[in-house]
A and B are shown apart, each in its own frame.
Chain A
Amino acid sequence: MFIQLIKRLAPSKAMRAASPLFALVITLLTGVILFSLLNVSPARALYAFFIAPLSSLYGWAELGVKATPLVLIAVALSIGFRAGVWNIGAEGQLTFGAICGGGIALWLHQVEAYWVLPLMLLGGMLGGMAWAAIPAFLKTRFNTNEILTSLMLTYVATLLLSLLVHGAWRDPDGFNFPESRIFSEAATVPILLQNTRLHAGALFALAWVALAWVLLTHTLIGFQVQVIGQAPAAGRHAGFSLNRMVWFCLLLAGAAAGLAGIVEVAGPIGQLLPTISPGYGFTAIIVAFLGRLHPFGVLCAGLLLALSYLGGETAQITLNLPLAVTGVFQGLLLFFLLACDVLIHYRLRFQFRRAVA
């Protein structure tokens, strides 16, 4: 039997919405096979992954904790992806934001004032923007590929953080562990729900989703993003500056990733460590695509991928499954999503004999 792709006259809106659901179902089916191969009962594994983490209020709060950085970053990335700006170095922008904001916290560790935290958040955003400004400058001035430069800068930022917590910023009372001081009360993001780790950063993420929707649908720059993404030639004829778009998308993503970074270290972590993110900046790429590059979709996708982190941890504890399973699932989900997206532009024709061309 052969399957032929027949181009649709117009992209299918129904398929654009259905494709993430198809991808999710196929990923789950693959999960069943994968767990069988690992000698784990699929029912128990799926329960551990998707139900057990949400069986308590604490679990739901953790979902918010993990979804916060993912949504913050993915919303901004999706605007860039719409415009064809491939910033894949959000992990580095997150890290540099955490370094800048965290640096302020360490510098002011004896100051107990209400303005310390806002200053840190601002520092984190500016730090992320500064880190993202490098690929933006190189792209607009020297035409350097932003995919490669933003990614290389991720390695540099991670090494810089490691350098600081192993050296100058190491806690003087910390028995030589590579950790900074624990941030003071005034430098910590307030908790929303008592006895959980859900913090005010989650509100930033929600506000950012709404703001991004307004930005995309009700402003000129949002309109330019849509036009340049769908028809670059039309955008050029309309006089939209591609360089300005590169700057806008990268700085926006830098600010969002930097905010995610500082909220993470001033929230659930509470200090600077050599590793502060389990790859949020990369997972956010999956979140952006799964959410159809739309702010509300990204919110849903962010919650789902946050669940995959939680589920991975639960499965590690209860079933002794390796943590790497999470990464495999995330990768598979993006694969299947990209594969199912073929249905947006093509329909399938099943044939029992190869057509004579």
Chain B
Amino acid sequence: MEILLPTLLTIITAATPLLYAALGELVTEKSGVLNLGVEGMILMGAVCGFAMVHATDSAALGIFAGLLGGAALSLVFALLVLGLQASQVASGLALTIFGLGLSALVGQDLVGLAYAGLPKLAIPLLCDIPFVGQLLFKHDILVYGSFALTAAVAWFLVGTRAGLIVRAVGDSHAAAHAMGYSVLRIRCAATVFGGGMAGLAGAYLSLAYSPLWVENMSAGRGWIALALVVFATWRTGRVLLGAYLFGGITILQLHAQAAGVGVPSQAMSMLPYLATIVVLVLISRDHNKIKLNAPACIGKPFHPTA
């Protein structure tokens, strides 16, 4: 019991950035856009958030800057693939390479600076419940936000008219266009939403998880988030499940190292990446399952006059 609570708490912190990034990408992909630049957007969010916190000393402004950093980068992507009909795969890779370089450039003076971390907000009364209170009701704002976001995305995609339109655009852009919806505008909005959420994932990494800034600190989380969306077969609930599964694997290796298991740390660090491959294989094996849930127009360009 004494080990269980800290372990579960660290799983939550490891899962939160994955959850933000994957939920954002889920909405983007549902609209038919495949943005492979999640890694770059996370890094931009991380560096913007950290820089803002050091400039203003305000956690709220830091979080907002992270959101804006990711969203701004995704806007560049949207301009390329929606405005100029560029290849989505190539543009996404470009976004990752560019985000990696730009964040390192912006953050060169931030390396080595410290930050106390986002304040923990205990919810009165609820946090006094033994165990559960400690586990669920003593977190920073971004952890609460990730729960709210999961519920909001699930409700938006399944329960709202706007969500239905997003899905329609992703499943058949020609039909949506014929019905009078502006395919490009809707896709742009979904892409920028995805960028903003990746930015929040980054802000969580640099403001709460680590909290510091180092070059390339996301360490592949953007790509794992992309894999999570496939793993979840584009369903919100399973994104939540997947993010916590991977958070658990990340934490498992940290705890194993701390406990002095006789395996080199590098071998343990391979676990999340290997697990990603295994999980992708298990899901992709069933071709029909992917086909049934994947947005039919994903990655396909759309030009209204063509």
Contacts and interface: CB of A to CB of B under 8 A. Distances in A.
A162 B267 CA distance: 10
Given A167-B264, A326-B101, A338 B90 contact: yes
Interface stretch (B61-69, B147-155, B277-285): B277-285
A148 interface: yes
Contacts of A7: 303, 305-306
B108 A338 contact: no
Nearest to A282: B97
A332 B99 CA distance: 10
Contacts of A160: 266, 270
Interface in B261-306: 264, 266-267, 269-270, 273-274, 276-277, 280-281, 284-285, 287, 290, 303, 305-306
Interface stretch (B6-14, B20-28, B128-136, B222-230): B222-230
A338 B80 contact: yes
Given A322-B104, A325-B105, A331-B101, A289 B267 contact: no
Given A144-B281, A144-B284, A346-B85, A335 B94 contact: yes
Contacts of B126: none
A57 interface: no
Contact of A322 (B94, B105, B306): B105
B76 A335 contact: yes
A185 interface: no
A331 B102 contact: yes
Interface in A306-357: 322, 324-332, 334-335, 338-339, 341-342, 345-346
A115 interface: no
26 contacts: A5-B305, A6-B305, A7-B306, A143-B285, A144-B277, A147-B36, A148-B227, A148-B277, A152-B220, A155-B273, A156-B274, A159-B273, A162-B266, A282-B93, A282-B97, A285-B93, A289-B90, A322-B105, A324-B101, A327-B98, A329-B101, A331-B100, A335-B76, A335-B98, A338-B90, A345-B85
A145 B269 contact: no
Pairs of residues from A and B, 6 with the lowest C-beta to C-beta distance, nearest first: A327-B101, A331-B98, A324-B104, A163-B266, A328-B101, A334-B94
A115 to B, nearest CB: 32
Nearest to B108: A322
A166 interface: yes
Given A152-B274, A328-B98, A331-B101, A159 B266 contact: yes
Contacts of B227: 148, 152
Interface of A: 5-7, 86, 88, 138, 142-145, 147-149, 151-153, 155-156, 159-160, 162-163, 166-167, 282-283, 285-286, 289, 322, 324-332, 334-335, 338-339, 341-342, 345-346
A331 B97 contact: yes
Contacts of B122: none
Contacts of B58: none
A327 B276 contact: no
A5 B82 CA distance: 12
Given A155-B220, A328-B105, A334 B97 contact: yes
Contacts of A155: 219-220, 270, 273
Interface in B65-90: 76, 79-80, 84-87, 89-90
Contacts of A325: 101, 105
**B interface: dominant SS:** helix
B284 A143 contact: yes
Contacts of A346: 85
A165 B282 CA distance: 33
B140 interface: no
Contact of B98 (A159, A162, A322, A332): A332
B264 A163 contact: yes
Contact of A324 (B86, B91, B94, B215): B215
B303 A5 contact: yes
Contact of B270 (A159, A322, A324, A335): A159
A329 B276 CA distance: 31
Contacts of A282: 93, 97
A101 to B, nearest CB: 20
Nearest to B92: A147
B90 A148 contact: no
A327 B264 contact: no
A163 B266 CA distance: 6
Interface in B246-274: 264, 266-267, 269-270, 273-274
B105 A324 contact: yes
Interface string B196-229: 0000000000000000000100011001101100
B87 to A, nearest CB: 7
Q: Most chain-A CB neighbours within 10 Å: which of B89, B100, B101, B281?
A: B101
A166 B290 CA distance: 41
A335 B80 contact: yes
A330 B227 CA distance: 26
A327 B94 CA distance: 11
Nearest to A134: B277
A20 to B, nearest CB: 14
B249 to A, nearest CB: 13
A330 B93 CA distance: 12
Nearest to A3: B83
A250 B306 CA distance: 34
A138 B281 contact: yes
Contact of A149 (B79, B98, B215, B280): B280
Contacts of A166: 264, 266
A142 B274 contact: no
Given A7-B305, A346-B85, A331 B99 contact: yes
A78 to B, nearest CB: 12
Contacts of B223: 148, 151-152
A145 B94 contact: no
Given A7-B303, A335-B98, A149 B277 contact: yes
A327 B84 CA distance: 23
Nearest to B39: A151
A66 to B, nearest CB: 17
